[in-house]
Amino acid sequence: MWCCWTDRRYLGRGQTQGQLSTASGVSVRTIRGLERGEILTPQLATLQQLALALRLGPQAQAEFMHAWSTPRGVGLDQLLVDPSSSRSSS
């Protein structure tokens, strides 16, 4: 599972919600709703458009899609984690 999609996947690349919207064809309102957990069951086409706009590789795209099969009730930014940042340093 990944986390902080909003920070690491597009804001970290210097993209805003508006830029991601333009690149993906997904509305800013939808992106915002995904981030806030207001949209709990996005359409597959929406996820595919976002994955393409984010230029996710095959493995990352598969993980991105799989994240949406997890229990609902959390926002997108809580579902997706950068695997390198989720490891404990103990």
Provide the CATH number for the domain around residue 3.
Answer: 1.10.260.40
Residue 3, in any domain of the structure: yes
The first and second tokens of residue 68, run together, are 């949406």
Within a domain: residue 78? no
Query: What number is the average pLDDT over the span 20-44?
Result: 88
DSSP bridge partners of 81: 3
Residue ranges making up the domain that contains 15: 1-70
Q: Give mean pLDDT, residues 4-21.
A: 66
Band of the pLDDT at 81, cuts 50, 70, 90?
Answer: low
Angle at 22 between CA 16 and CA 23, to 5 degrees: 90
Assessment of whether the complete model's pTM goes beyond 0.85: no
- The answer to whether residue 60 is domain-embedded is yes
Identity of the residue numbered 47: L
User: For the chain, how many structural domains are there in total?
Assistant: 1
Mean pLDDT across 3-18: 60
pLDDT of residue 76 exceeding 70, the answer is: no
Q: What integer is the mean pLDDT of 37-49?
A: 87
The token pair at 46 is 């929406």
